Amino acid sequence: MEKIISLCKRRGFVYQGSEIYGGLAGTWDYGPLGVELKNNVKQLWWRMFVQERDDMCGLDAAILMNPKAWEASGHVSGFSDPLVECKKCKRRFRADQVGEKCPECGGSFGEVRQFNMMFKTQIGATEDAESVSYLRPETAGGIFVNFKNVVDSFHPKLPFGIAQIGKAFRNEIAPRDFVFRSREFEQMEIEYFVRPGNWEEAFEDWRNEVHRWLAAVGIDASKTTELEVADGDRAHYSKRTIDFEFEFPFGHKELYGLAYRTDFDLSAHAGASGADLSFLDDSVEGGGKRFVPHVIEPSFGVDRTILAILASVYTEDELGGETRTYLKFNKAVAPIKAAVFPLLKNKPELVAKAREVYSMLKKQVPQIMWDDNGNIGKRYRRQDEIGTPSCITIDFDTLGENPELLDTVTVRDRDTGEQRRVAIVDLVSIIS
């Protein structure tokens, strides 16, 4: 884990939040490569679960919501973790994550109490009970309160789903394990609305979809397991929940959740808001009946996805007699798809041709990097470390020193280290 964290910082994937001020616990900033990686993950997800399907639509709801929505969903009264405080050093811990004694000073703990994880904030210039609101602790809330809007404007047929990607905030008692548990993070969530009798089938479909996603994004299947959450451990409204766990470097932990939430959310919001959140089923089988749809919720954490990818692709091997570290990203998520080098930095004709190739490629595959620093071996190692699948070198043969090789370049493969000679005109299809 230390190796991954240090590579992330060194190569501009993830920095500690507010680092120059000593940091802010539970926050992380994604650097130039981290933001590319994260955007690739989100775009792939959006494409797979929204754009490529006929039964899904997207949403981007506000982070701040009317607090009544969080009262109705049960978050204001019940979104809490058990907290204990050490009687001696006063440090606070999550009761389910520590033993009998304080891990810092060995002191004993006081009573366990429930700590609400909602971030409270003030709306507007007056500071009273009326102006209290919350930063959303999950993106799902915005989906449920927009259910009627989407139904009224799109008239979807059941089953259908609404997807949203966005920030969520939880005042975690003990943020830890790098981006695994932070106080500000991102989620990709789907609420999939079904007829009550069809939930099992939809649940199975989404279970398969989660596996398809894991493969597409490059998370090691041999490190993922499903945990069927037992009756007593599930949220009271959920009739079935599976946690998809990943073998993180610090242990087997939840990566994603898949839950059957019955009609709990829509019914709760209908009751609290007075809005009619039922669905008129005018299909032949539905016969014009109104009912509240039931929901299957696959919930994906963006940051845990990033960490699981990094843990899956981090590789150390030996190449050409030297040990090297590289990130074996698949092409879809790799932050940089290819790097372009002139063989020598001090030969203007090589640099000019390399710039031409670079500009041509960048217009079609924007995630391209230019590198002319140090010798070729060093450049390869740098690109390996950030997981660039292909390195393209412009040499004298490209310029026609050997006329047969005019307008060809070498393309070096990250995983094997092998080079092949290809025509410039074929580069876009090779790297995209």
List residues near ligand ATP by CB under 6 A: 138, 170, 172, 181-182, 185, 187, 254-257, 299, 301, 303-304
Q: Which of 311, 296, 15, 303 is nearest to 187 (CA)?
A: 303
Identity of the amino acid at 392: I
Residues 6+ apart with CB under 8 A from 189: 138, 139, 140, 143, 163, 164, 165, 297, 298, 299, 300
Give residue number: closest CB to ligand ATP.
301
Strand 240-248 relative to strand 224-228, pairing: antiparallel
As measured in angstroms, the least distance from the Cβ of 254 to ligand ATP is: 5
Structure tokens at 20: 């120059």
Scanning 365-401, the segments in alpha helix (DSSP H) are 376-385
* Distance of closest approach, residue 24 Cβ to ligand ATP, in angstroms: 14
The one-letter amino acid code at 159 reads P
User: Which residues, in sequence order, are CB contacts of 367 under 8 Å at separation 6+?
Assistant: 36, 40, 334, 335, 336, 337
Tell the smallest beta-carbon distance from residue 252 to ligand ATP (Å): 11
CB of 85 to ligand ATP, least distance (A): 20
Strand partners for 370: 340
Q: Which of 255/310 has CB closer to ligand ATP?
A: 255
Q: Distance (Å, rounded) from C-alpha 262 to C-alpha 202?
A: 12
Least distance to ligand ATP, CB of residue 39, Å: 18
Closest C-alpha to 398, from 359, 336, 339, 341: 341
When the beta carbons of 174 and 422 are compared against ligand ATP, the nearer one is 174
> Do residues 218 and 309 make contact, with C-beta atoms less than 8 angstroms apart?
yes
CB closer to ligand ATP out of 142 and 257:
257
Strand bridging mode 294-301 / 338-342: unpaired
Residue 196 CB, shortest distance to ligand ATP, in Å, is 23
Least Å from the CB of residue 63 to ligand ATP: 15
Instruction: Considering the complex, state which of residue 28 and residue 358 has its C-beta at the smaller distance from ligand ATP.
Output: 28
How near is the Cβ of 145 to ligand ATP at its closest, in Å? 18
Residue whose CB is less far from ligand ATP, 182 or 367: 182
Q: Which residue lies nearer to ligand ATP by CB, 171 or 419?
A: 171
Comparing CB distances to ligand ATP, the nearer of 187 and 393 is 187
At closest approach, how far in Å is the CB of 300 from ligand ATP? 6
Least distance (Å) from ligand ATP to the CB of residue 369?
Answer: 29
Which CB sits closer to ligand ATP, 166 or 301? 301
Position 111, amino acid: E
The closest of 240, 243, 244, 238 to 219, measured between CA atoms, is 244
Query: Which residue blocks in 160-286 are alpha helix, DSSP H?
Result: 199-217, 264-273
Give every CB contact of residue 32 below 8 A, 6+ residues apart in sequence.
12
Q: Could you write out the three-class secondary structure of 1-24?
A: CHHHHHHHHHCCCEEECCHHHCCC
Phi and psi, residue 259, nearest 5°: -135, 145
Q: Is 350 helix (H, G, I), strand (E, B) or coil?
A: helix
Q: Which is nearer to ligand ATP, 161 or 301 (CB)?
A: 301
Nearer of residues 248 and 279 to ligand ATP, judged by Cβ: 248
CA distances (Å), origin 167, targets 64, 174, 282, 405: 11, 19, 36, 51
